[in-house]
Amino acid sequence: MSGGWFTTKLNYVIGWGRKFSLFHYPFITACCGMEYMSTACAHWDFDRFGCGLTTFSPRQADLIMVVGTISQKEAPVLKTIYDQMCEPKWVLAIGACTLSGGIYDNYAVVQGIDNIIPVDVYVPGCPPRPETILDAIVKLQEKIQNQEQEFRWKRRK
């Protein structure tokens, strides 16, 4: 990292705060939604990882979890929701259908959402296990902590 001691420590503190305060927007379209729900419930509880606040407004979310099959008709909606999110924003792609179209190799299904929006962490499986989703959240938190954080100073006049 560039900079001195102060900017390095400030970068660490901002990264720590961001990784444990993920507001996620669930974009659930298919059967993998059951795995998402079980991950959010008491037995697995991804709230322990600082990812518990589900918001259904893209303007309040910084993480979008795309879960399930994305059709060609849904692709513009997904892109619009992603564009409405504030920076910094991250994407989890959960399930085989989200990653590669899964068993639906036809013209109506998007063959991987990375053709529409950039993906930070991929979660494979049909359906993916809750442990895999939790592992992906931990990997995303590591990525958030280790990236260069953007922050701006405002001077008062």
Closest CA to 72 of 100, 39, 107: 107
Sequence length of the chain is 157
Question: And the tokens for 11?
Answer: 């970068």
Collect all residues with Cβ–Cβ distance below 8 Å to 42 and sequence separation of at least 6. Answer: none
pLDDT by residue for the chain (157 residues), tens digit each?
Answer: 455 666 677 778 888 888 888 899 999 998 888 888 888 888 888 888 888 788 899 999 999 999 999 999 999 999 999 999 988 899 999 999 999 988 888 999 999 999 999 999 999 998 899 999 999 999 999 999 888 777 666 566 6
3-state secondary structure at position 63? strand
Q: Which CATH number fits domain 23-139: 2.40.30.10, 3.40.50.11540, 1.10.600.10, 3.40.50.12280?
A: 3.40.50.12280
What residue ranges do the domains of the chain occupy?
23-139
What is the DSSP code (8-state) at residue 48? G
Closest CA to 63 of 71, 53, 73: 53
What is the DSSP code (8-state) at residue 71? B
Question: And the tokens for 4?
Answer: 């001195």
Per-residue model confidence (pLDDT) at position 46? 83
Per-residue model confidence (pLDDT) at position 154? 59
Cα 77 to Cα 81: distance, rounded to the nearest angstrom: 6
pTM of the model: 0.84
Cα 48 to Cα 119: distance, rounded to the nearest angstrom: 23
